[in-house]
Amino acid sequence: MKIKLLITTILAAAVLLGSGLLFSTSSTSAPQATFVLLDGSLRTADDFRGKVTLVNFWATSCTTCVAEMPMIVRAYEKYRSRGYETLAVAMSYDPPSYVVNFASTRKLPFAVALDNTGAVARAWGDVNVTPTTFVVNKRGNIVKRYVGKPNFDELDKLIEELLAET
């Protein structure tokens, strides 16, 4: 009977760990990967300290990524004056010319990075599914990870809460 209870407890803990309910990601610092922006400049997670930052891994060949981009732009435009930043990281398999064309024709108002080697995606937890989006608080801690299209109403609420933090 004790073994069955122990196994049940271990399984329950594993499920909670897997769903992210047992441990919050709020204490996980954003990785110190270097982002290479389309203009050739470099940024790190430290450059975003003091701001709430959305880091979106995407690809021009990802239909969900393309479909969600106007909502990411809307959030950026809505919150940027309050200390909100967005960084779109193109996956290593995305041809740079496609990324440049996409950013230019869509007039993306935020920073766009190329991850030519895949090092940034690896540093951020071996990201290989697009879109994958991280929300980082002002202290540089990852507070939320979305795999797939975020619920933008929920995302807006989270951004509001994080911007209100001191």
The domains of the chain are located at 24-164
Q: Specify whether the CB–CB gap between 83 and 50 falls below 8 A.
A: yes
* 3-class secondary-structure state, position 146: strand
Mean pLDDT of the chain: 88
Is residue 89 very low, low, confident or very high in pLDDT (cuts 50, 70, 90)? very high
- Please state the length of the chain: 166
Is residue 41 very low, low, confident or very high in pLDDT (cuts 50, 70, 90)? very high
pLDDT in the model for residue 27: 60
Measured CA to CA, the distance from residue 14 to residue 10 in angstroms comes to 6
pTM: 0.83
Q: Look up the CATH architecture of domain 24-164.
A: 3-Layer(aba) Sandwich (3.40)
Is residue 20 over pLDDT 50? Answer: no
- Give mean pLDDT, residues 147-155: 97
pLDDT in the model for residue 166: 85
64 token code pair: 């969900």
